């Protein structure tokens, strides 16, 4: 996730242009690739533009460039994911994509459909790729997420999930002894934290995509699903989807939650006007800055629903485009390998809050980092309960429509049942037309 909303115009990407003219890995590698021995320059388009993310990515990239003589990675940063996607769409349509980029799963599905992504398997299997034991060190759920049609068209890069951020000072003042573990407790605590005389309330619901991602996980927690098993029809409009968003609608109606826009929830939390919020761990450095030491920031697992805990994993993977030559594709994967080695994924996680993508890194951090930084361990501890958004190309557009629908429900403009039914009809059309 998610430091900025993105919009979607998939038509430009789905036009199969002549830009697929590069040699694909399937054509070029009949046997195991030898180590890269030619210098290449790799352009990497990314959106790590703020907080601690930008300097940390630059630090790791500069170290990689200096560590070996064969690959030079040039970063092209964009201010947010929306801009990155727009630039990628335009570049692909013009036949001039970058060598590699951050990619959400839905983007990658669309790009694969357009025939412009490289299969990374030959580079994973290359003599300077990853050994079987190294590959097994990545979290299995992240590796599964990186596959399309059973092949690696992505590779884990910056991954995160949501946690509960809370203000322990406000909790104590409200007589709350521990963070809520269920949505019922969350609503009860939001009521206790609300004090209009102090301009203080329990939580926020924001018009930013992270709150749609939160609802997707809640649908599972309430016993439902987003799509049917074949991912051809919407199912979120059922009772589980309605119950999940009604949790928020009821709190807004009762004044325990405010509806806000963008990242105003971070401001409300940091300024002490709001007692708790559910947000991505990737925003940890932003939240620390917002709090500014005014109170001890604390995190806890996301509340569970009647069917248990489910939290959506987000953040991006890395994609490589097959317009690039085989050597450039190879060099791009060597950079991915370096960025995600145990040492660097630890550094990335410690500096930014994103989860380490290697299990050995997590075990080391349990000994050296998490005892002094327990807030950042919560997101990784939720790993057994993570789920992913549908990887169908049209889900990107569907999420933006759903966010508007959900925001309207919590503002009381329409009951959840009819609103989600109308949204499901739109999603069904998107799934049919691609």
**Rounded Cα–Cα distance for residues 136 and 143 (Å):** 9
| pLDDT at position 434 | 66
**β-bridge mates for residue 78, sequence order:** none
> Is the Cβ–Cβ distance between 46 and 84 less than 8 Å?
yes
Number of Cβ atoms within 10 Å of the Cβ of 384: 7
Tokens for 37, please give them. Answer: 């021995």
Residues 53 and 128 in one domain: yes
Residues 295 and 419 in one domain: yes
**Rounded Cα–Cα distance for residues 422 and 216 (Å):** 17
**Rounded Cα–Cα distance for residues 433 and 296 (Å):** 49
Residues 397 and 280 in one domain: yes
136 domain-assigned: yes
Residues 345 and 333 in one domain: yes
Residues 212 and 340 in one domain: no
| pLDDT at position 19 | 39
Residues 407 and 271 in one domain: yes
2 domain-assigned: no
**Rounded Cα–Cα distance for residues 66 and 245 (Å):** 50
**β-bridge mates for residue 316, sequence order:** 158
**Rounded Cα–Cα distance for residues 172 and 434 (Å):** 51
Residues 34 and 127 in one domain: yes
Per-residue pLDDT of the chain in tens (434 residues, 90 and over written 9): 344 333 333 334 333 333 333 333 344 445 899 999 999 999 999 999 988 999 999 999 999 999 999 999 999 999 999 999 999 999 999 999 999 999 999 999 999 999 999 999 999 999 999 999 999 999 999 999 999 999 999 999 999 999 999 999 999 999 999 999 999 999 999 999 999 999 999 999 998 888 999 999 999 999 999 999 999 999 999 999 999 999 999 999 999 999 998 889 999 999 999 999 999 998 898 999 999 999 999 999 999 999 999 999 989 999 999 999 999 999 999 999 999 999 999 999 999 999 999 999 999 999 999 999 999 999 999 999 999 888 888 888 899 899 999 999 999 999 999 999 999 999 999 999 86
pTM of the model: 0.86
Per the structure, the complete domain to which residue 27 belongs is given by 11-159+315-380
Number of domains in the chain: 2
DSSP 271-313: TTSBSEEEEEGGGHHHHHHHHTTSS--EEEPPPBBTTB--EEE
What are the C-alpha distances in Å from 20 to residues 27, 296, 374?
13, 52, 46
Residues 210 and 114 in one domain: no
Residues 19 and 56 in one domain: yes
Residues 267 and 404 in one domain: yes
How buried is residue 199: exposed, middle or buried, by Cβ count under 10 Å (0-12/13-18/19+)? exposed
6 domain-assigned: no
| pLDDT at position 12 | 40
Residues 421 and 279 in one domain: yes
Q: Which of 182, 375, 205 is nearest to 274 (CA)?
A: 205
272: phi then psi, degrees, rounded to nearest 5: 85, 15
| pLDDT at position 362 | 96
Number of Cβ atoms within 10 Å of the Cβ of 391: 19
> Is the Cβ–Cβ distance between 235 and 227 less than 8 Å?
yes
Residues 274 and 196 in one domain: yes
Token pair 């934290």 in the structure block, residue: 193
**Rounded Cα–Cα distance for residues 365 and 368 (Å):** 5
5 domain-assigned: no
60 domain-assigned: yes
332 domain-assigned: yes
4 domain-assigned: no
1 domain-assigned: no
**Total length of the chain:** 434
Q: How crowded is the C-beta side of 10, counted as CA atoms within 13 Å?
A: 21
* CATH of residue 41: 3.40.190.10
């Amino acid at each position: 996730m998610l430091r900025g909303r993105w919009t979607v115009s998939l038509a430009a990407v789905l036009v199969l242009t002549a830009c697929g003219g590069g040699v694909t890995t399937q054509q070029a590698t009949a046997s195991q690739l030898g180590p890269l021995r030619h210098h290449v320059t790799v352009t990497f388009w990314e959106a790590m533009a703020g907080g601690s993310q930008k300097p940390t990515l630059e630090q790791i990239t500069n170290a990689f460039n200096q560590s070996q003589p064969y690959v030079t990675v040039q970063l092209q940063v964009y201010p947010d994911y929306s801009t990155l996607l727009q630039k990628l769409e335009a570049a692909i349509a013009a036949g001039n994509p970058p060598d590699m980029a951050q990619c959400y799963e839905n983007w990658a599905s669309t790009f694969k459909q357009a025939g412009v992504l490289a299969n990374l398997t030959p580079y994973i299997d290359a003599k300077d790729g990853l050994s079987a034991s190294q590959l097994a060190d990545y979290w299995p759920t992240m590796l599964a997420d990186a596959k399309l049609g059973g092949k690696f068209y992505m590779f884990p890069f910056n991954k995160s999930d949501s946690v509960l951020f809370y203000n322990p000072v406000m909790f104590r003042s409200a007589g709350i002894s521990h963070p809520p573990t269920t949505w019922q407790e969350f609503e009860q605590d939001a009521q206790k934290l609300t004090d209009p005389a102090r301009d203080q309330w329990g939580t926020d619901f924001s018009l930013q995509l992270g709150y749609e991602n939160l609802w997707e996980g809640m649908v599972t927690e309430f016993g439902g699903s987003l799509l049917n098993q074949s991912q051809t029809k919407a199912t979120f409009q059922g009772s589980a989807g309605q119950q999940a968003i009604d949790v928020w609608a009821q709190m807004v109606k009762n004044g325990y939650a405010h509806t806000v826009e963008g990242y105003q929830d971070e401001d409300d939390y940091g300024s002490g006007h709001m007692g708790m919020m559910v947000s991505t761990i990737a925003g940890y450095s932003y939240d620390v800055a917002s709090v500014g030491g005014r109170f001890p920031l604390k995190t806890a697992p996301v509340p569970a629903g009647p069917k248990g805990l489910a939290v959506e994993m987000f953040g991006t993977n890395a994609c490589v485009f097959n317009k690039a030559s085989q050597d450039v594709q190879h060099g791009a994967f060597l950079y991915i390998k370096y960025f995600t080695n145990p040492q660097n994924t630890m550094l990335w996680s410690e500096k930014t809050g994103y989860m380490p993508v290697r299990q050995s890194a997590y075990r080391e951090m349990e000994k050296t980092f998490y005892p002094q930084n327990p807030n950042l361990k919560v997101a990784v501890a939720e790993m057994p309960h993570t789920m992913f958004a549908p990887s169908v190309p049209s889900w990107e557009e569907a999420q933006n429509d759903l966010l508007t629908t959900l925001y309207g429900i919590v503002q009381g403009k329409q009951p959840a049942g009819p609103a989600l039914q109308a949204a499901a009809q739109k999603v069904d059309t998107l799934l049919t037309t691609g």
